[in-house]
Amino acid sequence: MLPVNRGRAPHRAGMDFTDVKRKPSVLSKVVLALVLTVFCVYILKQSPGIAGTNMFSVHEPGVTHVLVTGGAGFIGSHAALRLLKDNYRVTIVDNLSRGNMAAVKILQGLFPEPGRLQFIYGDLGNAKVVNKIFSENAFDAVIHFAAVAYVGESTLEPLRYYHNITANTLTIMEAMAAHRVKTLIYSSTCATYGEPEKMPITEVTPQVPINPYGKAKKMAEDIILDFSKNSDMAVMILRYFNVIGSDPEGRLGEAPRPELREHGRISGACFDAARGIIPGLKVRGTDYPTQDGTCIRDYIDVTDLVDAHVKALGKAEPGKVGIYNVGTGRGLFALAPSPIFRRSVKEFVEACKKATGVEIKVEYLPRRPGDYAEVYSDPSKINRELNWTAKNTDLQESLSIAWRWQKSHRNGYGSS
């Protein structure tokens, strides 16, 4: 007799009829996985510690977020490097008209961690762009470097300088006020003093600038000071002198646009002459009332200058304004055992020849429009109040460090 099948489907080899019962379980697992995925994505987006872009848009306890305008430039990039080394969060805004994107990429390579550094391409002359940048980022402080900065060029293009320096600073101030950013470190210049009757220059020396660059910077200072009178903003204004040198570890250097060499720093011209890019060095002005007829300047190493900005940032207090000269001071002359950077142009050229090992050809020409005979600072106020003093005061050594970068970057950052 055959067995009776009592309502069950016959079993066939290789077939499992429990699949029908498992389908609901599999479906529920899929749904649960989707729910968890959506939840995790939501958490990631809400967490400033994980979401890369959002880390810059929120204030985080224990982290100071600094906007560095002009951070792709020579001084600005060195400042960004120092801030990052000191664990600040940094946003660089630059339109790259004078800066180098390659410098920013070097910084990004050194500090790749999320929330450390971001670069925003932007023109400070566009108020809508500036306001958007401020609305999308939670800045705690601004260090305002961005500016065209050549005395000779300013005499040829004065309107450009007033727009780029004065008007753009006004735009920055309006954005800071609107978005309640309470700390400003302003990068100014000794050019605001013009040709003082007495040396050394102190912070109370009358400001009577004699070229559009100095005038535009003084106007920007006036805007900042007028606003600060009815504000609790912490303001530091640093008036600095002639900047030389570069990063001692060789990561960053100075690489101006080729078309700007005519207006650039004397150190850049010396290096160009030593490398044969230009036939020789042109020294403008030999009839100044100085010991050898050439201009006397107060030179400061870029690492010391950056250190002054960082110290100013750390010491800035709400509702207070600090104004400081950043230079090496009067000190001693070149033959003293401890040389300082108050040197004539001729002395500077001799130091550059020694640093490069090249006998640079020098051509002496008439004065450059807008230049002044003798400028050096009294840094005692910044020494006293910010505990800052210039440390890299060997002129030849600073030039040697800068020269090493120049030799290994013959096409600027393009060859790095």
Residues catalogued as catalytic: 213
Q: Is 109 exposed, middle or buried (0-12, 13-18, 19+ CB in 10 A)?
A: exposed
What does the alpha-carbon distance between residue 222 and residue 205 come to, in Å, rounded to a whole number?
15
Q: Which two tokens stand for residue 403?
A: 């020269």
* Chain CA centroid to CA 27, Å: 56
The three-point CA angle 260-263-267 to 5° equals 100
Beta bridge partner(s), residue 232: none
Give the 3-state DSSP-derived string for 211-261, with helices as H, strands as E and coil as C. CHHHHHHHHHHHHHHHHHCCCCCEEEEEEECEEECCCCCCCCCCCCCHHHH
Q: Which two tokens stand for residue 50?
A: 């994980």
* Chain CA centroid to CA 180, Å: 22
What does the alpha-carbon distance between residue 303 and residue 309 come to, in Å, rounded to a whole number?
10
Peptide bond into 200 cis (omega under 30): yes
